[in-house]
C-alpha cells in the first residue's frame, strides 16, 4: 500500500491513478510541502491573523510571520511551484501542471496564506506567466524577476465598472499613443492586489484600436507602475462584507496615466491573445485550491459532528437525520471533482491550455458549485459558529462564490467552452449513427425484415 | 495525440490518465471490441427486437441473431471479459478490472444486448465469480463450465417478498438438512434470469442456522437446479411497464425443494461471506454500463437538438433556453463519474474488492443518480418520442432507476459504505488538528500572543 | 375547528384560505365525493384491474365495475364536475373552477379511474369544453350530448409524428375543401383515447391555409368520426412500457379521410383560437390530479416507513437517515403547490383562462416536477415494490413524466408563459425605481450628501 | 380587477385568495404603508447608509433619518403593526397575523430599516410579545411601554457559546437565588441588539433548577438591565463579513450579574413555556420578510437583465441561456412560498401559534432556502456587482443564510416540527386504508375474485 503522505488528503485510489505521472522529484517535493504546511504554515495562521490589525492600518500591514515563512519556503525549494518549466523553460520550475495541481489543493486548504508563502498567489501567478511568455528582456528584468523572488506584488487590471466586462470586447479604457508615451484613461474595479503596498505594477488591458473591424484586435496590454501619476485607487470592493486587506480588490480610476511605449506587452492589438493564454492554467489552480477548501471543510465537519460537546437531544450530530449522507455526498463530490481537474491538468501538460479548453471549461463551472455545496453543509453543521469569524468557513464560501463570476461567469463556461464544443461533436456522432444505420439496413434486408425507428447512439 | 478509437467515446484527458495502466493486449482488445460493437452488434439491435415477439411466446424465445453474435464474439476473443485472471487465475481472462471497466462502458451504451453477446451479463457474471471462487470441482464442472461457454444461464435468488431484504439478515427462506439433502422453503422475488428457458441453476441464499447468535453466520448458499421439483415461478415482476422477457425478474416460491448436500457452496453459514465477495466488482461493472447508457443518451440528445426537422419557433432546439447548459452539465457529470468509477476499478485491481469498499460505495450511489439525470434531460429533448418505445431512453431510465434500489438502496451505501467509513477518518483528522494546535500554541507563546479560536483542518 | 372531511386530505390552513369561496352546494358535493371515493370507488380499484385482461383483448374491454360506478355517480350528482356553469352557462354544472380543483385533487389520488367514473376524464373534458363553447347546435346534439351523458368517448388529434409539434405552427396534416367535404391527410401520434372502442369522434387540428401570412390563422379544427374510412390506427404508443389500454395513445394515419364541411368547428383558420381556449383550465385540472397523486404517494410512504415488517438493521425505515426529512419536504412541496394551483383556479374563475395565463403557466411547470419528486421518494421507500406492478407508484410516476412534455414542454411554459410575462413587468419596476431614485436625490441634496450607487427595488 | 396597490407586489391571484380576510382598516393601512415605503422610507435608505460611519464610532451612532421616519410612522398609524390585538388585547393593534404578514413582506424588501421605522424589529418584537403576555404590571411599565413607544431597544439572550444551543436544554448559564436577588453567570453569544446604545434590557434565559427531572422545567427567564454590573459585551460576532452595527450580535459574559427577584418572568421553571410562545409568529414574520427580500431581488434581476448597458456578446442578458427560466422559477418559488406562509399566518389567527406548529415548521425550513436560491440567481445576474457593497444582494443573502440556523436549524424543523407531525397522521391513514381494504374484500368476494396486492392510499 502506498505510503506517500498525500494519501492522508486524497484517496489512495485517486493517487494510484496519477502516481506514475509524478517524477521522483515531484513526489519528494509534494511530501516536503505537506510537512512544511503541517509543521510550519498552518500553525502560524493564528499568529498571522493576530498580526493583521482590525482598523484601517491593516491596508499598510506586511504580516511578519508570512515574510518569515516565505524565506523558509525559498530555502526548502518550495517556491514558484506553479510555473512549469515545460511551458516556461527559462524561468520555470521542474513541476508539471499535474504535479502542481495536487500541491495547489493542499495550499488551498487554509485560505490565501499558504499560496502566498510559496509565491503562488493570484494575481501574481498569472502576471508572472504573462511576463515570462511575452515580456521583453527589459520588462522581465524590471518586473518579472522581483516577482519571481517574491519581493514585489502586482495587479491585473481588466474588469471595468458600468459595463458587462464578462464580454471583454466591452472594455472601454482607452490607450492612446502620444509620441513615445501611451496615455491611459479608464475606470476599472475589482483590481485584485491593487490595495497592497508592495504592489509595483498593474498589467492593464485597454482599447487601443476601437475601430478595428476585428473585435479581438482592438485591445492591448500595457504595464503600469503602481505609483504612476493618475492612478487613483478609489476604494476596496467588498465580497460579502470582506475586504481582503491588505491585497483588496479595488476600484481604480486611471486618469491620464502616461507610460513609455516600451511598457506595451507583445504588440498593439495583442491584448486578447495575451489574456486568453493567461487564463487557462490559472483556472485549474483556482479549482484545485477550491477542492482543497472543500476538503478542509469536510474535515472540519467530521470533527464537529463527532464532538461530544455538541450533542443535541442526547445524540451526536452525526446520529441525526441526513448528516452522514451529507458527509458521504461531500466525499463523493470532492473525489469526482479532483479527478476531473487532474485530468484537465494532464491535458494541459500534454497539449497546452489551448488543447485543454473543454476540460478547463468543465472544471471552471463544475468545481466552484461543488465546493460551495460542501462548504455550505459544513457551515450548517457548525451552526452559528459556521457563519462567523471563528471559523474560516464563511470566508471560504464567499471567496468561492466569486469564482462563479470571476474569469467568466458560469454561464459563459457552460455555453461557450463546454456546450458549444460538445455541439461540434455532432458531425462525428451523426456519421457513426449513419454508418450503423446503413449496416442495420443490410442486415434487415438479408433477414427480410422492415426497419422500425430506433435511433442510434 | 492519442489515436486509440476509445477517444471517440471518452475524452482524451481521461484516457490519458489511464492509458499507461492498459497492457498492449488490453488496448488491442478494446479497439477490437469497439469495431465489433460498431460494425456487428449495434447494427443487429433492430433485428434482435424484431426477432422478439410481442406476445407471451417471447418468454420462450431465444433470439437467433444474438446467438450468432455470441459465436462471433468467441471467435474474436471478446468473451468473458469481466473475469480477471488476477482474481480468478484458473478461469479468468487477461484483463484487469480497470481494463474491463472501460469495455463495460461501451457494452452499456445499448441496453443488455452487447453484454450478453460477450458473455458478460448479470446475473451470470456474479454467479460465475461465486462458482469460480468457491465452487467445488464438481460444481464447477456442472455449472461453471457451461456458463463460461455461454451454453446455459443462471439466476441469483436472494431478495424475498414481504420483508425488507436490503437488510440480508431479514432473509427467511429456510434451508434444512435432512439426511444428505437440503430442503428449501421460501418465497423470493425479483430473481433475475429466472424466466429464461436457458437458465439451469439458481444460486440461492437462505437461512440455515436461524438461532446462531452471529447474524452473519445464519445464512448459507446452495445451488438449485432450475427444474427441481417445487421451484414454482409465479410471475414476472415488471419494472415500470417493462417485463424484460425473456430473462425477467421473477417471483418464485421454493416449496419443499430438495437438493443434494453437495450443492452447498463453501460451507454452512458462509452465505454472507459469499455474497459480499460477489457484489464488489459487479457493482463497478453496473456503474460503467450506466455511464455508457448516459453517454449514449447524451449523443442521442446532441443529434436531436441539432436536427433541422425538429426546429420550433424558427430555431434549433439547441438555440432555446438552457439546452446547451444541460448538455454541458451532462458532459461534466459523465466525465467526473467515469473517473470516479475507474479509480475504484483500479483500487479493486490493487487491493481486491475488500480494499475498495469505500470507492465502490461512492460509485454505487453517485453514478445511477447522475445517469438518471443525463437520460432524463435527453428524454426531455426528445419530447414524446423520448418516453416511448421508439427510443431506448425510457427503458434505459427505468433500468437505471432500479439501480438505486438493487444491491442495496442508495441510503445503505451513503450511510454504511461511505458515511460510516468517513467517520473512521475522524481519529486521524483530530490528531492532525491537535498537532497543529500544539505547534500554534508554541508559536503564539513565542510571539507573546493569546490564541483566538479558529479550528484547524 | 373545521370539521369538513376535506381536512383529512388537505391541511386545515389551506382549507381555511379557500373555504369562504366555496358555496354550500360546493361544500356538500365535496363531502359527498369524498364519501363516494372512499366507500365505493377506491374499494373497486382492484376489481377493475382484475376485470382488465392482460392479453390483447384488453383493448376491447369495457370494465363492468367502472360502468356501474358511473351510474352511481350520476345518481349522486357527481357528474361532469369540471364544466363550470360560469363559463358554460348552458351545459355546465354549479361548480367554480376553484371548487372543482379541490375535487380534482381527490380524483387524482388513484390513477385515471375516478376521473372516468365522474365523467371528468381527459381528453373528453377538453373536448366537451370545445364543443360547448364553439360547437353548432347540430354538432352539440351529435357529439356533446352523448359525451356529457358518458355514453361515448372522444379523442383529441393534434400532435404529429416527425415534427416538433410543441410548436403548433409546425403541424402538417392538411385539410382541403373539396365540394362540401373536407379531405384530411396526415400522420399523427399520441392521440389519447383513440384506442377506446367507445370513442366516436376525433377533434382534429390541421392546416387549412398553409400560405396565410399569419401563422396563427393557418389551422382549422374539424370533427372526424372515429369510424370514417381512412382513419387508420397504427399502434398504441407506450409510456415507460405502459400502453394505457383501453384508451391508449395511438399513432394514426388519416388517409384521404372525408368529412362534411358541417364538421368544421367555429370557422376556417380558427384552430389556434380553439386550442388555446381548450388548454387553460384543463392544465389546472391535470395539476390538481398530479397533486392528488403526490399526496397519495406520501400517504403510502407514511405507511411503509412505519411498517414493522419492513424494519432493517433493527430500526423502522423512518428511523434511518433522511427519511423523515424526505417526508417533511414532500409535505411542504405538496402544500405549496396546492395553494399555487388553487390561486390559479381562482384567477380563472375571476378573469377566465385568458386572464390567468401566467398563473396557469407557473402551475404547469412547477407541479409535475414537484409531484415526480414526491413520488420518486415514495418509490425509494418502497424499494423493489415501488417500481413494479404491485403499487401504483411507478405508473403514476410515468404518467406524470409525460406531463412535463404534453401540452407544451416545461421549457415553453418557463420561457413563454412565465418568463416573458415577468419581463413585461420591467416597465413598472423601472418606473418605481426611478421615482424612488428621484426622491432619494432630493433627500440627499437637502442633507448635503452625494449619492452612492445602491440600486432600488 | 382589483386596484389595491398591493397587486404591484403580489400577484392578483394570491391577493384574491386573501382579500376577503382583510378588514377595511387592514386594507387601508396596507395601502398607506406602501405609499409610506415608496415615498419616504426607500428614498431615505441611501442617506441612512451615509449617516452610518464606517469606523468604530458606528457602534454608537443613532441614524438621524431613521429617527425622523419613526416619528412619521407613528403619526401615520404605522406603528407596532406586528402586535395583534387578537392575542394581545391590551397592547395590540388592530391587525391580524395574516394582515401583518402581508405588511411584513413589504417591510422586508429593503433590509432591516423599514422594520425598525415602524417599530417591528427583531428582537424587540418577540420581546414585547413576552412582556405583553407574561410581564407583571411593573415590568410592563418599566420595559414594555418604552419599547412600544420605540424609545428603547432590547436584547434576547439565549444562545450560548461552547454548547449546541439548538437543543435549549443544553443551556448552562446559571440563575441562582440569593436573598431577593437572582445571580447570573454565563457565557452567551449571538445576542442580537446587545451592541445598540439604546438597548436597556436583556431578556435572558438560564438554568435555575438543573436537577429538575423534567428537562423543560429547569429554565427560567429574567430581565437584566443592559447596564447591570457584570454584563460584559466581549465582541460583535460577524455574519460572513458583516457586523450589523449598531445592533450587532454580541458575545456577552454575565459575570455575577445581580437582578432583583422581581425581574423574574412568569415564574421559576417557566423558561421553556415562555420561549416557545415567543417563537411562533416571529418565525412567520421572518419568513415574510425573507419573501420580501427575494421578491425585491427578483425585481432587481429584472432590471439588470434588461439593461442595455449590460449587454454581452451583442445580446441582452435575458437573451442568454437560462436567464429567463431562472426568472420564471424565482417567480414560482416566491408565489408558492408566500401562499404557504400566509396560510400559516391564518392558522395562527384561527388557532394560535400552538395550533399552527406544523405550518410554522414548514415555513421555517422552506422559505429561507427558497429565498437564498432566488437571491443567489440575482447575484449571478449582477456579477461582481452582486457580491459587493453596491447592491444589497450579498448582505441580504448572508442574513437569510443565518435564518437556516437561527431559531432552530433546518434539520430540527424538518425532523421535529414537520416530519414527526406527519408521522402522527399514520394512524388515520392506516385506518382509512384498512376500511377501503375491507370494502374491497367484500367487493371481490361478491365478484368471485381473489385479491392482488395493491396498497391503498
Question: What per-residue confidence (pLDDT) applies to A354?
Answer: 87
Spatial separation of the C-alpha atoms in residues B399 and B379, rounded to whole Å = 14
Question: What per-residue confidence (pLDDT) applies to B228?
Answer: 98
Upper half-sphere CA count for residue A161 (Cβ side, 13 Å): 18
For β-strands A181-192 and A174-178, DSSP reports them as antiparallel
Average pLDDT over residues B254-273: 97
Verify that A255 and A346 share a domain, yes or no.
Answer: no
Q: Over 60: is that where the pLDDT of B376 sits? A: yes
End-to-end distance of chain D based on CA atoms, in angstroms?
41
End residue of a domain, out of D204, D234, D265:
D265
Q: Over 50: is that where the pLDDT of C455 sits? A: no
Average pLDDT over residues B202-206: 97
Tell me the Cα Rg of chain D. 24
Global pTM value:
0.96
> How close is the nearest chain A Cα to the Cα of C396, in Å?
26
Q: Over 90: is that where the pLDDT of A444 sits? A: yes
In this complex, which chains have at least 3 CB pairs below 8 Å with chain B?
A, C, D
Reported as a single tens digit per residue, the pLDDT across A400-421 is 999 999 888 999 888 888 999 9
Sorting pLDDT into bands at 50, 70 and 90, what band is C352? Answer: confident
What is the residue-wise DSSP string for C318-380? GGSTTHHHHHHHHHHHHHHHHHHHHHHHHHHHHHTGGGGHHHHHHHHHHHHHHHHHHHHHHHH
Sorting pLDDT into bands at 50, 70 and 90, what band is B37? Answer: very high
Question: What per-residue confidence (pLDDT) applies to A416?
Answer: 86
Verify that D37 and D129 share a domain, yes or no.
Answer: yes
Cross-strand pairs, A177: A182
Reported as a single tens digit per residue, the pLDDT across B40-65 is 999 999 999 999 988 888 899 999 99
Nearest CB neighbour to C167, from listed B313, B384, B409 = B313
Residue D41, burial from CB neighbour count under 10 angstroms (0-12, 13-18, 19+)? buried
Verify that C189 and C82 share a domain, yes or no.
Answer: no
Instruction: Please give the mean pLDDT across all residues of chain D.
Output: 93
Mutant choice from A21, A35, A46, A396 vs B, greatest count of B C-beta within 10 A: A46
Q: Over 90: is that where the pLDDT of B3 sits? A: no
Verify that C207 and C157 share a domain, yes or no.
Answer: yes
Instruction: Please give the mean pLDDT across all residues of chain B.
Output: 93
Nearest CB neighbour to B303, from listed A302, A346, A433 = A433
B255's grid cell: 416449496
Verify that B28 and B137 share a domain, yes or no.
Answer: yes
Residues of A in contact with B35 (CB under 8 A): none
Nearest CB neighbour to D46, from listed C12, C432, C452 = C452
- Asked whether the beta carbons of residue A331 and residue B362 sit closer than 8 angstroms, the reply is yes
Given a contact cutoff of 8 angstroms between Cβ atoms, the answer to whether D313 and D156 are in contact is no
Residues of D in contact with C332 (CB under 8 A): 340, 362, 365-366, 418
Question: What per-residue confidence (pLDDT) applies to A87?
Answer: 83
In this complex, which chains have at least 3 CB pairs below 8 Å with chain C?
A, B, D
Structural domain includes residue C309: yes
Q: Over 80: is that where the pLDDT of B266 sits? A: yes
- Asked whether the beta carbons of residue C325 and residue A322 sit closer than 8 angstroms, the reply is yes
Residues of B in contact with A392 (CB under 8 A): 454
Question: What per-residue confidence (pLDDT) applies to C278?
Answer: 78
Q: Over 70: is that where the pLDDT of D1 sits? A: no
Closest by alpha carbon to D269, among D216, D224, D202, D211?
D216
Verify that D105 and D228 share a domain, yes or no.
Answer: no
The reply to whether omega before A50 is within 30° of 0 (cis) is no
- Asked whether the beta carbons of residue C454 and residue D414 sit closer than 8 angstroms, the reply is no
- Asked whether the beta carbons of residue C340 and residue D342 sit closer than 8 angstroms, the reply is no
List the CATH number of the domain containing D261.
2.40.110.10
Question: What per-residue confidence (pLDDT) applies to A83?
Answer: 93
The ipTM estimated for the assembled molecules is 0.95
Verify that A361 and A317 share a domain, yes or no.
Answer: yes
Structural domain includes residue D382: yes
Question: What per-residue confidence (pLDDT) applies to D450?
Answer: 61
- Asked whether the beta carbons of residue A325 and residue C321 sit closer than 8 angstroms, the reply is yes
Verify that C299 and C372 share a domain, yes or no.
Answer: yes
Question: What per-residue confidence (pLDDT) applies to A412?
Answer: 87
- Asked whether the beta carbons of residue A454 and residue B332 sit closer than 8 angstroms, the reply is no
Question: What per-residue confidence (pLDDT) applies to D279?
Answer: 74
List the CATH number of the domain containing C107.
1.10.540.10
Per cent of chain B over pLDDT 90 is 83
Q: Over 80: is that where the pLDDT of B318 sits? A: yes
Supply φ then ψ for residue A199, to 5 degrees: -70, 125
Residue D350 has what DSSP assignment? H
Beta carbons within 8 Å of C299's beta carbon, 6+ residues apart: D425, D429, D433, D457
Average pLDDT over residues A314-340: 95
Question: What per-residue confidence (pLDDT) applies to B450?
Answer: 61
End residue of a domain, out of C97, C123, C148:
C148
Structural domain includes residue D435: no
Residues of A in contact with B391 (CB under 8 A): 454-455
B324's grid cell: 446547451
Sorting pLDDT into bands at 50, 70 and 90, what band is A55? Answer: confident
Residues of B in contact with D324 (CB under 8 A): 321
Verify that C193 and C310 share a domain, yes or no.
Answer: no
Reported as a single tens digit per residue, the pLDDT across B163-195 is 988 888 899 999 999 999 999 999 999 999 898
Given a contact cutoff of 8 angstroms between Cβ atoms, the answer to whether B331 and C422 are in contact is no
- Asked whether the beta carbons of residue C395 and residue B241 sit closer than 8 angstroms, the reply is yes
Structural domain includes residue C170: yes
End residue of a domain, out of B239, B265, B291:
B265
Sorting pLDDT into bands at 50, 70 and 90, what band is A1? Answer: very low
Instruction: List residues of chain D with CB under 8 Å from any CB of chain B.
Output: 321-322, 324-325
Q: How many C/D residue pairs have CB atoms within 8 Å?
A: 277
Contacts of A428-431 spanning 24+ positions with Cβ under 8 A: A428/B8, A429/A457, A429/B299, A429/B302, A429/B303, A430/B303
Spatial separation of the C-alpha atoms in residues C43 and B217, rounded to whole Å = 45
Q: Over 60: is that where the pLDDT of D328 sits? A: yes
Question: What per-residue confidence (pLDDT) applies to A168?
Answer: 84
Question: What per-residue confidence (pLDDT) applies to C55?
Answer: 84
Residues of A in contact with D241 (CB under 8 A): 238-243, 394-395, 398
Per cent of chain A over pLDDT 90 is 83
Reported as a single tens digit per residue, the pLDDT across B159-168 is 999 998 888 8
The reply to whether omega before A123 is within 30° of 0 (cis) is yes
Q: Over 90: is that where the pLDDT of B354 sits? A: no
Question: What per-residue confidence (pLDDT) applies to B276?
Answer: 82
Q: Over 80: is that where the pLDDT of D2 sits? A: no
Nearest CB neighbour to D328, from listed C297, C418, C429 = C418
Mutant choice from C387, C401, C404 vs B, greatest count of B C-beta within 10 A: C387
Q: How many A/B residue pairs have CB atoms within 8 Å?
A: 276
Reported as a single tens digit per residue, the pLDDT across C18-44 is 999 999 999 999 999 999 999 999 999
Sorting pLDDT into bands at 50, 70 and 90, what band is B386? Answer: very high
Residues of C in contact with A321 (CB under 8 A): 321-322, 324-325
Instruction: State which residue of chain C sits closest to D43, comparing Cα positions.
Output: C440
In this complex, which chains have at least 3 CB pairs below 8 Å with chain D?
A, B, C
Verify that B218 and B288 share a domain, yes or no.
Answer: no
Average pLDDT over residues D361-381: 97
Spatial separation of the C-alpha atoms in residues D367 and D384, rounded to whole Å = 26
Residues of B in contact with A17 (CB under 8 A): 17-18, 339, 342-343, 346
Nearest CB neighbour to B50, from listed A20, A415, A449 = A449
Verify that B122 and B48 share a domain, yes or no.
Answer: yes
| Segments forming the whole domain that contains residue A251 | 154-265
Instruction: List residues of chain B with CB under 8 Å from any CB of chain D.
Output: 321-322, 324-325
Q: Over 90: is that where the pLDDT of B87 sits? A: no
List the CATH number of the domain containing D412.
1.20.140.10
Q: Over 60: is that where the pLDDT of D201 sits? A: yes
Spatial separation of the C-alpha atoms in residues D220 and A343, rounded to whole Å = 60
Structural domain includes residue D439: no
Sorting pLDDT into bands at 50, 70 and 90, what band is B281? Answer: confident
Q: How many A/C residue pairs have CB atoms within 8 Å?
A: 10
Q: How many domains does chain B have?
A: 3
Reported as a single tens digit per residue, the pLDDT across D83-141 is 988 888 899 999 999 999 999 999 999 989 999 999 999 999 999 999 999 999 999 99
Residue C380, burial from CB neighbour count under 10 angstroms (0-12, 13-18, 19+)? buried
Q: How far is CA B215 from CA A311, B264, C314, D185, D190, in A?
A: 31, 19, 12, 52, 49
- Asked whether the beta carbons of residue D47 and residue C444 sit closer than 8 angstroms, the reply is yes
Question: What per-residue confidence (pLDDT) applies to A450?
Answer: 60
Mutant choice from B59, B163, B164 vs C, greatest count of C C-beta within 10 A: B164
Structural domain includes residue B431: no
> How close is the nearest chain A Cα to the Cα of D307, in Å?
10
Residues of A in contact with C322 (CB under 8 A): 321-322, 325
Structural domain includes residue D456: no
Mutant choice from C321, C325, C380 vs A, greatest count of A C-beta within 10 A: C321
Mutant choice from B384, B386, B391, B405 vs C, greatest count of C C-beta within 10 A: B384
Instruction: State which residue of chain D sits closest to B453, comparing Cα positions.
Output: D162
Verify that A254 and A280 share a domain, yes or no.
Answer: no
- Asked whether the beta carbons of residue C239 and residue B387 sit closer than 8 angstroms, the reply is yes
Q: Over 80: is that where the pLDDT of C340 sits? A: yes
Question: What per-residue confidence (pLDDT) applies to B455?
Answer: 47
Q: Over 50: is that where the pLDDT of B336 sits? A: yes
Q: Over 50: is that where the pLDDT of C445 sits? A: yes
Q: How many residues does chain A have?
A: 457
Reported as a single tens digit per residue, the pLDDT across C102-128 is 999 999 999 899 999 999 999 999 999
Question: What per-residue confidence (pLDDT) applies to B256?
Answer: 98
For β-strands B231-237 and B249-260, DSSP reports them as antiparallel
- Asked whether the beta carbons of residue B395 and residue C241 sit closer than 8 angstroms, the reply is yes
Q: Over 90: is that where the pLDDT of A228 sits? A: yes
Instruction: Please give the mean pLDDT across all residues of chain A.
Output: 93
Q: Over 90: is that where the pLDDT of B30 sits? A: yes
Mutant choice from C313, C409, C418 vs B, greatest count of B C-beta within 10 A: C313
Amino acid at each position: 500500500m502506498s505510503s506517500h503522505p498525500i494519501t492522508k488528503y486524497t484517496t489512495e485510489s485517486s493517487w494510484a491513478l496519477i502516481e506514475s505521472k509524478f517524477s521522483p522529484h515531484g513526489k519528494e517535493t509534494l511530501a516536503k510541502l505537506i510537512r512544511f504546511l503541517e509543521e510550519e504554515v498552518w500553525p502560524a495562521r493564528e499568529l498571522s491573523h493576530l498580526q493583521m490589525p482590525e482598523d484601517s492600518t491593516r491596508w499598510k500591514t506586511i504580516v511578519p510571520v508570512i515574510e518569515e515563512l516565505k524565506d523558509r519556503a525559498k530555502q526548502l525549494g518550495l517556491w514558484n511551484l506553479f510555473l512549469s518549466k515545460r511551458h516556461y523553460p527559462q524561468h520555470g520550475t521542474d513541476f508539471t501542471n499535474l504535479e502542481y495541481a495536487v500541491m495547489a489543493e493542499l495550499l488551498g486548504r487554509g485560505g490565501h496564506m499558504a499560496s502566498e508563502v510559496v509565491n503562488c498567489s493570484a494575481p501574481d501567478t498569472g502576471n508572472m506567466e504573462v511576463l515570462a511568455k511575452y515580456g521583453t528582456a527589459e520588462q522581465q528584468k524590471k518586473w518579472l524577476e522581483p516577482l519571481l523572488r517574491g519581493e514585489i506584488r502586482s495587479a491585473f487590471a481588466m474588469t471595468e465598472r458600468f459595463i458587462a466586462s464578462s464580454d471583454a470586447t466591452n472594455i472601454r479604457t482607452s490607450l492612446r499613443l502620444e509620441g513615445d508615451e501611451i496615455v491611459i484613461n479608464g475606470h476599472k474595479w475589482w483590481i485584485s492586489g491593487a490595495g497592497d503596498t508592495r504592489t509595483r505594477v498593474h498589467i492593464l488591458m485597454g482599447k487601443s484600436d476601437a475601430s478595428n473591424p476585428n473585435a479581438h484586435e482592438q485591445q492591448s496590454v500595457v504595464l503600469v507602475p503602481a505609483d504612476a501619476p493618475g492612478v487613483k485607487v478609489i476604494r476596496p470592493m467588498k465580497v460579502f462584507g470582506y475586504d481582503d486587506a491588505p491585497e483588496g480588490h479595488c476600484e481604480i480610476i486611471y486618469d491620464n496615466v502616461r507610460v513609455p511605449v516600451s511598457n506595451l506587452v507583445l504588440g498593439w492589438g495583442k491584448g486578447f491573445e495575451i489574456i486568453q493564454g493567461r487564463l487557462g492554467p490559472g483556472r485549474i489552480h483556482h479549482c484545485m485550491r477550491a477542492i482543497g477548501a472543500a476538503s478542509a471543510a469536510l474535515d472540519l465537519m467530521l470533527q464537529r459532528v463527532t464532538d461530544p460537546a455538541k450533542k443535541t437531544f442526547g445524540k451526536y450530530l452525526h446520529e441525526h437525520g441526513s448528516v452522514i449522507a451529507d458527509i458521504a455526498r461531500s466525499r463523493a463530490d470532492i473525489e469526482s471533482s479532483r479527478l476531473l481537474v487532474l485530468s484537465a491538468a494532464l491535458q494541459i501538460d500534454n497539449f497546452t491550455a489551448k488543447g485543454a479548453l473543454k476540460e478547463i471549461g468543465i472544471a471552471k463551472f463544475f468545481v466552484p458549485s461543488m465546493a460551495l455545496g460542501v462548504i455550505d453543509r459544513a457551515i450548517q453543521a457548525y451552526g452559528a459558529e459556521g457563519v462567523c469569524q471563528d471559523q474560516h468557513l464563511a470566508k471560504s464560501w464567499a471567496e468561492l462564490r466569486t469564482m462563479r463570476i470571476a474569469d467568466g461567469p458560469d454561464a459563459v463556461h457552460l455555453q461557450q467552452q463546454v456546450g458549444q464544443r460538445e455541439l461540434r461533436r455532432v458531425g462525428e456522432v451523426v456519421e457513426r449513427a449513419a454508418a450503423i444505420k446503413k449496416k442495420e439496413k443490410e442486415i434487415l434486408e438479408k433477414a427480410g425484415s422492415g426497419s422500425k425507428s430506433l435511433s442510434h447512439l
